[in-house]
């Protein structure tokens, strides 16, 4: 991690209170469970061995990582040494956090410094970026003033809800700070004056609330947070909306951009639209996490991919799995195939209604379905700690059939959250093996080939 143009670090922290609803995360307490439908016991025991390390992990493992200076979870300071008010420390204890991660420790003093500084911050998936910017928002708002002061944008409905949950949990002891959700389905009457100090949402609805319904006075916003900032400013629809909001904000509004990925062109663009930002960046080789092991299978056809998947799936029900497909069509196909074979799977694609999406993700968080088949709509930000396996049913590619490096990294980052162990499998058609090499080169990492039918090889996966 390197920091460009580091600014003065000073303590800040307005007084404030909170009385928001408490968001139940519901994803910490799930334990492994056994599925008695499995038939092939040899296969089962091998793959069980393979992932056992993830299951017996304790906070002890995280503590060890937090003492290793090369780990993104490393910190020299405790939360108590950071400039945080005591109500927020209480919220952090509710979250069960012991020490800050590197990004939390580094970014918080910058975000809380006075005068406010803009920040473009990059840190690996699952390293606690959310709590970092949530603590900044909760520190900055003035609870005595009853109008929106912080806007936070995320690319998807699910992610906005998830961030809202973190705000509500960490902010539980700050009486009088409230949060509301600018997301599809949450209606507000035109001209209503919102009293909540923090508004979290997706760009389309937020745009509507700011300019059409005018329930948010953009001129009074003093902190603007973009999560998954690289796609928020670079992908077609999202960037038009996010940047329109960003341009309308007052001059002194503090802008905070967070993501695990910023390709160089996007970072350059971010630096252009945000004035004088401090930039925290990672080198490409720092991006992949050693706690996420990466493998690939070469398959000749969709059917062969499916068979390989079944080999994994039959044995990996202990944790949870996310399977990514490139298109809704292939996600639908896969879900039908798996359901016909008696597997209980959930599917999340953008065509579902918001109510269906909320239901699917909640059931998955609660462990009711162990497998979630998804398109890229779920590739970013979603934090379900018990996900031990990610499968790329196809590798993500762009319009030019080049690897979509960022999406690959975000997808595999759905596992291995905050130091937990995870495994990422990619199914690759023989003509696409070159994509794997390109990903390996790009991230200077190793993706090892496996034969899905070779049990000896699978056994070697255990480390
Ligand atoms: N200091 C901490 N100690 C222990 N756990 C933490 C700490 N900070 C965050 N976590 C946990 O780590 C997990 C990942 O955090 P978070 O979702 O913020 O990651 P992220 O950096 O936003 O990742 P992504 O790039 O995938 O969005 C969450 O479950 C969160 O509760
Ligand atoms: Mg995140």
Domains 2-282 and 292-460 share a fold: yes
Do 315 and 155 form a contact (C-beta atoms < 8 A)? Answer: no
Q: Does the C-beta of 130 come closer than 6 Å to ligand 1?
A: yes
Tens of pLDDT, residues 58-111: 567 777 788 888 889 988 899 999 999 999 999 999 999 999 999 999 999 999
Cα separation, 67 vs 348, in Å, equals 38
Tell me which ligand sits closest to the C-alpha of residue 226: 2
Query: Ligand 1: which atom is nearest the Cα of residue 418?
Result: 12
Q: Does the C-beta of 388 come closer than 6 Å to ligand 1?
A: no
Nearest CA to ligand 1 atom 27: 381
Query: Ligand 1: which atom is nearest the Cα of residue 414?
Result: 26
Tens of pLDDT, residues 382-430: 999 999 999 999 999 999 999 999 999 999 999 999 999 999 999 999 9
Tokens 């896969």 found at: 334
Do 299 and 305 form a contact (C-beta atoms < 8 A)? Answer: yes
The topology under which CATH files domain 2-282 is Rossmann fold (3.40.50)
What is the bridge-based pairing of β-strands 278-281 and 119-122?
parallel
Tens of pLDDT, residues 294-321: 999 999 999 999 988 888 876 655 578 9
Q: Does the C-beta of 262 come closer than 6 Å to ligand 1?
A: no
Q: Does the C-beta of 343 come closer than 6 Å to ligand 1?
A: no
The residues spanned by each domain of the chain are 2-282, 292-460
Number of neighbouring beta carbons within 10 Å of residue 309: 25
Q: Which pLDDT score is estimated for 460?
A: 59
Quote the pTM value.
0.88
CATH number 3.40.50.10860 is the correct assignment for the domain at 292-460:
no
């Amino acid at each position: 991690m390197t920091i460009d143009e580091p600014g003065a670090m000073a303590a800040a922290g307005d007084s404030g209170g909170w009385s928001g609803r408490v968001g139940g995360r519901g994803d910490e307490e799930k334990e492994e469970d056994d599925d008695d439908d499995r038939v092939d016991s040899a296969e089962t025991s091998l793959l069980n061995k393979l992932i056992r390390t993830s299951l017996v992990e304790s906070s002890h493992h995280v503590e060890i990582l937090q003492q290793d200076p090369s780990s993104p979870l490393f910190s020299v300071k405790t939360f108590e040494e950071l400039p945080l008010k005591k109500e927020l420390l209480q919220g952090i204890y509710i979250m069960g956090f012991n020490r800050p991660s590197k990004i939390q420790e580094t970014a918080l003093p910058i975000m809380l410094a006075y005068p406010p500084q803009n920040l473009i911050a990059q840190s690996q998936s699952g390293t606690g970026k959310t709590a970092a910017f949530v603590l900044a928002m909760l520190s900055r708002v003035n609870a005595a003033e009853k109008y929106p002061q912080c806007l936070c944008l995320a690319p998807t409905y699910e992610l906005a809800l998830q961030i809202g949950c973190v705000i509500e949990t960490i902010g539980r002891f700050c009486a009088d700070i409230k949060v509301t959700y600018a997301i599809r389905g949450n209606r507000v009457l035109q001209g209503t004056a919102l009293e909540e100090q923090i508004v979290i949402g997706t760009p389309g609805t937020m745009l509507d609330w700011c300019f059409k319904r005018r329930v948010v006075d953009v001129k009074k916003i003093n902190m603007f947070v973009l999560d998954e900032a690289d796609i928020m400013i670079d992908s077609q629809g999202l960037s038009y909306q996010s940047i329109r909001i960003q341009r309308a904000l007052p001059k002194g509004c503090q802008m905070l951009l967070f993501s695990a990925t910023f390709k160089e062109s996007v970072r350059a663009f971010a630096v252009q639209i945000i004035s004088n930002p401090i930039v925290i960046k990672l080198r490409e080789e720092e991006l992949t996490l050693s706690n996420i092991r990466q493998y690939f299978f070469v398959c000749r056809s969709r059917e062969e991919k499916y068979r390989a998947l079944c080999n994994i799936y039959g044995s990996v029900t202990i944790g949870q799995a996310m399977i990514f497909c490139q298109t809704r069509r292939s996600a639908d196909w896969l879900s039908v195939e798996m359901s016909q074979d008696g597997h209980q799977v959930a599917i999340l694609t953008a065509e579902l209604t918001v109510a269906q999406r909320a239901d699917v993700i909640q059931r998955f968080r609660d462990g009711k379905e162990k497998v979630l088949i998804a398109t890229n709509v779920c590739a970013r930000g979603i934090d379900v700690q018990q996900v031990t396996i990610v499968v790329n049913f196809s590798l993500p590619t762009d319009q030019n059939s080049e690897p979509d490096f960022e999406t690959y990294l975000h997808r595999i980052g759905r596992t291995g959250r905050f130091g937990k162990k995870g495994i990422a499998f990619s199914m690759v058609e023989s003509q696409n093996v070159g994509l794997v090499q390109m990903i390996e080169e790009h991230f200077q990492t190793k993706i090892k080939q496996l034969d899905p039918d070779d049990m000896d090889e699978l056994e070697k996966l255990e480390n």
